[in-house]
Amino acid sequence: MVNFLVTVVLAILIFGSAGAIIAKVLGVEQQAKQNFYQLHKELKEFAESGKILSGYIIILDEESFVAKFDANKATNLYLKRTYKSPTDEYFVTDSLEIDPPSQCNGKDCLVFCPHMSFDYEGGKVGCSEPPFVITLDDDFVVTPFVVARHEATGVEFRHRVIFVEGYAVTETTGYSTRRVPVNVEVYGNDDAGRKIISIGGTDGAAGAHRQWTGLTTGADSYKVDLSSDDFVVGESRNIKLVITAPEGYTINKDYPSKLKLSGNQESGLQDYTFPRSAFTFTSSTLALELPLRFDSPGQKVINAQIRFALDYSSASSPVGTFPREKDIQWTIVVSPKE
């Protein structure tokens, strides 16, 4: 009898362990796959529900992502890597491009990549295993996003990356994190009257930035003021730039703003990029003064490109961040030295 009980206990332990291993090997990936298909179902039900805010838990295995692509348009994945040594800690941000898989056939699609591959030199993220794809032809619109789980070599943490149309939020998570909570939100309607639905970070995801397509037009109403001192040959003078945020918006001081000056033979200037540290910020303005000197008189045309971002928020709406890029031009007259 004792031998029989021992045999039964051993059988339970052996087959129980084997079952756990099988579940770990097969069940976990299946769970993420089922969660992906359930996401599309949840989006459809949410669009029909009349709600403006809901939540969802995206399940991610190691080195996987869930994303929405607009037709043939690639999107970017930003990974902020934390490196630690006995004496120092520093960060590196990788900007990698993800192309929609061929299975999307040029249409809007949801994609689950069970295992990512990385080409850091080429700046690309691919799928080393066949992706699961749902082409979208619904009566609602989902804005592009990427939710990824990744651990790079030399990094002590996994990173959760929530990306929405041009801006990303990176948040470190624990080693065992598989369940990523996201907000599902309605941000209005497009020109065809379809609901616009966005997936973004929950309130617990520090600094989460989200896009509201309906605010894009408002964000473009920022004001640009260009001016300059009276230039004289051989003397340093300033050209000036001030960008003022539209009503309801503020200047995003954390965005990596920059101004790229385009050199040309006529002006005698060389290409040069001024980083974020060269700007002066207030909540509503971004300003820059550039000292220049010319060795010959006459009219000078100075071309440049400015990149910056605006934030929008209200009591009833989540934060929206809108990166902006604009070509600008100064035309100045340099007088001969008396």
Helices (H), 178-331: 216-219
Q: How many CB atoms lie within 10 A of CB 11?
A: 10
Q: What is the per-residue pLDDT across 204-222, written as a single tens digit (0 to 9) for each?
A: 332 233 333 334 446 778 8
Rounded distance, CA 115 to CA 148, Å?
Answer: 10
Residue 271 shares a structural domain with residue 194: no
Q: Are residues 159 and 54 in the same domain?
A: yes
The Cα 116–Cα 121 span in angstroms is: 15
In a domain, 132, yes or no: yes
What is the per-residue pLDDT across 139-160, written as a single tens digit (0 to 9) for each?
Answer: 898 888 888 877 654 444 444 4
pLDDT of residue 62: 80
Q: Indicate the residue type of 21.
A: I
The residue to which tokens 């990356």 are assigned = 161
Show the CA angle centred on residue 117, arms to residues 102 and 84, nearest 5°: 145
User: What stretches of 230-336 adopt beta strand conformation (E)?
Assistant: 231-232, 237-244, 249-251, 258-262, 272-274, 280-281, 285-292, 298-314, 317-335
CA 273, CA 282: separation in Å to the nearest integer?
A: 21
Least confident of 2-11, 62-71, 262-271, 304-313: 2-11
Domain with 83, as residue range(s), is: 50-211
Residues 296 and 155 in one domain: no
pLDDT score of 314: 55
Domain count, the chain: 2
- pLDDT tier for residue 37 given thresholds of 50, 70 and 90: very high
Is the pTM for the entire model greater than 0.95? no
